[in-house]
Amino acid sequence: MAKIYLERIKDLISPLTDGKFKSVEFEFRHFFSGAALYVNGKISMTLTPVGFGLKLPEQIRESLIKDGSAKTLRYFPKAPIKKDYVILLEEVMDDKTILRELVEVCINYVKDS
């Protein structure tokens, strides 16, 4: 099952980042029951049964949650909330312009941290 998520995250992210981040090393790996994208060795995004999660700056996370575009990330029912991440709702995932912007913010945030 994780193989499907690995293929999906590659298909989702690759066209959004193609040629834009020449000094960044991307690595797609299996992650729990899904997949993750690592930026210069640091985890940045996940695609799992709970959705597509991005590591974003606090102000952007709060804004996305407040306007209903995202929700907090929790991988398992009793697990703690991953405070640096949000899960994007489907409407945001379908808007390729917004998705591209958020992916770029995520990559820059992780590579500079």
pLDDT in tens, 19-53: 888 889 999 999 888 999 999 999 999 999 999 99
Q: Are 72 and 80 spatial neighbours (Cβ–Cβ below 8 Å)? A: no
Residue found by looking up tokens 């049964």 in the block: 49
Percent of the chain with pLDDT over 90: 81
What three-state secondary structure class fits 25?
coil
The C-alpha angle with vertex 81 and arms to 102 and 72, in degrees rounded to 5, equals 40
- Domain of residue 91: give its range: 2-111
How far is residue 3 CA from its own chain's centroid? Answer: 17
The C-alpha angle with vertex 80 and arms to 45 and 63, in degrees rounded to 5, equals 55
Q: Are 44 and 37 spatial neighbours (Cβ–Cβ below 8 Å)? A: yes
- The CATH number linked to 72 is 3.30.1460.30
Q: How many domains does the chain have?
A: 1
pLDDT tens for each residue of 40-96: 999 999 999 999 999 999 999 999 999 999 999 999 889 999 999 999 999 999 999
Q: What is the pTM assigned to this prediction?
A: 0.93
